[in-house]
Amino acid sequence: MKTRFFAVVSAIIRKDLQAELRSRELVGSMGLFALLSVLIFSFALELDRVARIEAVSGVLWVTIVFSSILGLNRSMAMERDQGNLEGLLIAPIDRGAIFVGKLVGNFLFTLTVGAVLLPLMTVLYNLTLITPTLILTLLLGILGFSVVGTLLAAMTVQTRARDALLPIVMMPVALPLLLLAVRATTGIVNVAPEDQWLAFLQLLGVLDVVFLALCFILFDFVIEE
């Protein structure tokens, strides 16, 4: 019997996508939350163009962060409901493969929401948001949140107050990611010179790598008793 790391990762991703395509529970609730959130912000902040440019990056990232938390909770709940996480843990597989598998699934689900948000906000806020640099920022930011969120959701899912606990635990840890993503996005939307935002984007990439390495290592400890 030969169990390979990437085969397990691929099996977990396929399983998550298959279950989601069938139920649409995760992306459905995340998408609906994101849509409502953006609409409420749009109507509440009837701003002039300058103020809108200032606010849009905050609205974008607050929406992404909270919808990703919603998705992370549900994604891990799926593993917990019928004891499925135990089913995975008794298999002769690297715990890192479970982490990477769940991470990729969470990343793809949040990315789907982000991909809907950008054109939607482009229309609502009358700004050019679909640019290669902004898409790159979105990718890096969502990757960072998914990395941190996957680890922390695996921790909080084992507690009674998991739904309330995840945002409380996640926000302080993910705050540097959020700040960097917002600063980079503001610079890009403002069409500011590169030297005013590129460093934030680069730092975001570095932080992603650091969090990825840390969370990969820590997952083993978090998931074991």
Partner 1 sequence: MIIETHALTKAYGLQPVLRKIDLGIERGEFVALLGANGSGKSTLLRLLCALSKPTAGTLKVGGWELPKEAAAVRSQIGLVSHKSLVYDNLTANENLLFFARVYGLNDIDGRIKRGLERVGLGKRGGDLVRTYSRGMLQRLSIARALLHDPDVLLLDEPYTGLDQDASGILDNLLQQAHGDGKTVVMVTHELDRAQRLAQRAIIISRGTIVLDAPMSTIDYLPARYTEVTGMTTR
Contact (Cβ atoms closer than 8 angstroms) between residue 146 and residue 103: yes
Residues 18 and 114: their CA atoms lie apart, in Å, by 20
CA distance readout (Å), 94 to 5, 12, 17, 22, 44: 7, 13, 21, 28, 48
Number of Cβ within 10 Å of residue 35's Cβ equals: 16
Q: Which stretch binds partner 1 (CB under 8 A): 10-18, 107-115, 186-194, 213-221?
A: 10-18
160 contacts partner 1 (rule: CB under 8 A): no
Tell me the closest approach of the beta carbon of residue 109 to partner 1, in angstroms.
14
Task: Read off the DSSP letter of residue 92.
Answer: S
Q: CA-based angle 183:123:48, to the nearest 5?
A: 65
Tell me the closest approach of the beta carbon of residue 11 to partner 1, in angstroms.
4
15 contacts partner 1 (rule: CB under 8 A): yes
Interface pick for partner 1 out of 93, 100, 104, 155 (rule CB under 8 A): 93
49 contacts partner 1 (rule: CB under 8 A): no
* Three-class SS state of 1: coil
Site for partner 1 in 66-85 (CB under 8 A): 78, 81-84
Phi, psi of 11 (to 5 degrees): -65, -40
Nearer to partner 1, 12 or 204 (CB): 12
Contact (Cβ atoms closer than 8 angstroms) between residue 160 and residue 180: no
Nearer to partner 1, 15 or 66 (CB): 15
Size of the site for partner 1 (CB under 8 A): 32
162 contacts partner 1 (rule: CB under 8 A): no
> Which residue ranges make up the site for partner 1 (CB under 8 A)?
1-4, 7-8, 10-12, 14-15, 18-20, 22-23, 25, 78, 81-84, 86-93, 224-225
